Structure 1
Amino acid sequence: MLEIRNLSKRFGGLVATNNVSITVDAGSISALIGPNGAGKTTIFAQISGFHRPDSGDIRFEGQSLLGLLPERICLLGIARTFQIVQPFAGLNVRENIAVGAHLHRASRRAALEHADAIAHRVGLGAQLDKPAAALTVAGRKRLELAKALATDPKLLLLDEVMAGLNPAEIDEIIPIIRGIRQSGVTILLIEHVMRAVMNLSDHAWVLNNGTLIASGTPSQIASNPKVIEAYLGHGAAARMQEQAGGARHA
């Protein structure tokens, strides 16, 4: 579905992404992980049209995305969330989600009806009339997810959608993300919550200093010496291996 080939991007003297190549299969949940500053969000920005690569290509369902504006890329079926959630504070939850729904629905009534349906999918059904500014961190994260989902994406890019959540909130959002995949949406996520990566991902790529250093299943990643040294550390790697064992026996 998504093919990234030899993607490179510089900001002055900083190499944000260096010759990165990944392929995301339709129907999968894949993870892009690595230390802060590794270049993960820069890749999302290039996929979604906010930054143009210096070299390389990004192809979605066979079509190159280079030079396309973000709104055109969204129309093709790619939606993303952002690390720093910024809802339309003057609108309620329903109206926030309807903004995304209007991408394919001209009528306000149709957009609001779709917003209601999406809100129930992400667990916000009881808060549709609540001002977005009054939501908790967990609520804002779900709203960010709902706004992207309302555009009817084929590919959903989730940028740290679990950051700032407590363990119980993470446990609640994992099945929501799994359900989105089951509805036919392909997911590529950036995440530091390794428990979620292990539970959700079919495949993972690891970036460090803008360079791809490893690729494989989450359990393969957890045992890779380069990944342990650059990112996980031995304790986190051991916990990931335990979680992989638990997932296999679940």
Structure 2
Amino acid sequence: MAEALLTLAGISRSFGGLAAVQDVSLAVEEGRLCALIGPNGAGKTTLFALMSGFLKPDSGTVRFAGQDITGREPHRNALLGMTRTFQIVKPFAAQTVRENIAVGAHLHERSRGIALARAEAVAQQVGLARQIDKLASDLTVAGRKRLELARALATQPRLLLLDEVLAGLNPQEIAEMMPVVRGIAASGVTVLMIEHVMQAVMHLAEHVWVLAQGRLIAEGSPAEVTSNDKVVEAYLGHGTAARLRAAGAAA
């Protein structure tokens, strides 16, 4: 059986007395669109930082594309093909959309002309073609989210880690962004997304891991994890699953 594109084995990280991530193991197969979900403070973004090299684990290993990359610097992981986005987007405000995206393209491309051409193709892919010469500072929240996605995509990743790319968007903007994410996965990029918008998780993800208080508590299809008692209680509180079942039986 072929090795997964990304494998975490026993990853843990504490900050002082707080165990932010505890003994997490998972494997992301190449070509899949997967999601990591969990309540606020579950440790999801910390886990992304441990995967991508922005933080070093206290214990455990990270393997990507057949290599042990535990604690390796983010820029080296990006060169290998792992790129992430961030919840709080920070574009180069005084530069155009085209110039912002070209920054990502320069990871593999020295030529300015080729990087700018690559930026144009990526802008088309994420729905920013009409705004490509607009200053990043003039974009809406939805536009900035697309730009963050485009800058990461321009690095030509094999694995794209999306950290709440739909956060802050209204329902129409979410509906418009979902086909963009699906299209990226269809192009051959493996996607692992942190997401709170369950509508998107249900419609996009093939496989879901659920993190609560730093531990993985469930995994499976979106339908399987959202019907799991542990998951229901992690989001809604202890005893909720039993109360919901009792209410359903009484109805």
TM-score, length-scaled by structure 1: 0.92
For structure 1, which runs of at least 5 residues remain unmatched after alignment? 239-250
1:103-122, aligned counterparts within 5 Å?
103-122=107-126
2:50–2:71 CA contact under 8 A, matched in 1: no
Structure 2 distance, partners of 1:169, 1:14, is 36
Structure 2 distance, partners of 1:6, 1:175, is 34
Residue 76 of structure 1 is aligned with which of 77, 80, 88?
80
- Percent sequence identity is 62
Residue 194 of structure 2 is aligned with which of 170, 176, 190?
190
Secondary structure, counterpart of 1:219 in structure 2: helix
- Quick one: which amino acid aligns to residue 68 of structure 1? R
Give the deviation of 1:10 after TM superposition: 0.5
Give the deviation of 1:231 after TM superposition: 1.3
The residue aligned with 1:54 is 58
Residue 26 of structure 1 is aligned with which of 30, 38, 46?
30
Secondary structure, counterpart of 2:27 in structure 1: strand
Two-structure CA RMSD over aligned residues (Å): 1.3
The residue aligned with 2:160 is 156
Cα deviation code 1:134-164 (max 9, x no counterpart)? 1000000000000000000000000000001
Structure 2 distance, partners of 1:151, 1:91, is 18
For structure 2, which runs of at least 5 residues remain unmatched after alignment? 245-251
Structure 1 distance, partners of 2:123, 2:236, is 35
Aligned: 1:42 with 2:46: yes
- Quick one: which amino acid aligns to residue 190 of structure 1? I
Give the deviation of 1:221 after TM superposition: 0.6
Cα deviation code 1:163-219 (max 9, x no counterpart)? 011111111111111110111000000000000000000110111110111111100
Give the deviation of 1:127 after TM superposition: 0.4
Residue 178 of structure 2 is aligned with which of 150, 153, 174?
174
Secondary structure, counterpart of 1:192 in structure 2: coil
Structure 1 distance, partners of 2:53, 2:94, is 27
Kindly name which structure, 1 or 2, has the bigger radius of gyration based on alpha carbons: 2
The residue aligned with 2:8 is 4
Cα deviation code 1:97-116 (max 9, x no counterpart)? 00000001100000000000
Q: Which 4+ stretches in 1 moved above 3 angstroms?
A: 232-235
Aligned: 1:143 with 2:154: no
TM-score, length-scaled by structure 2: 0.92
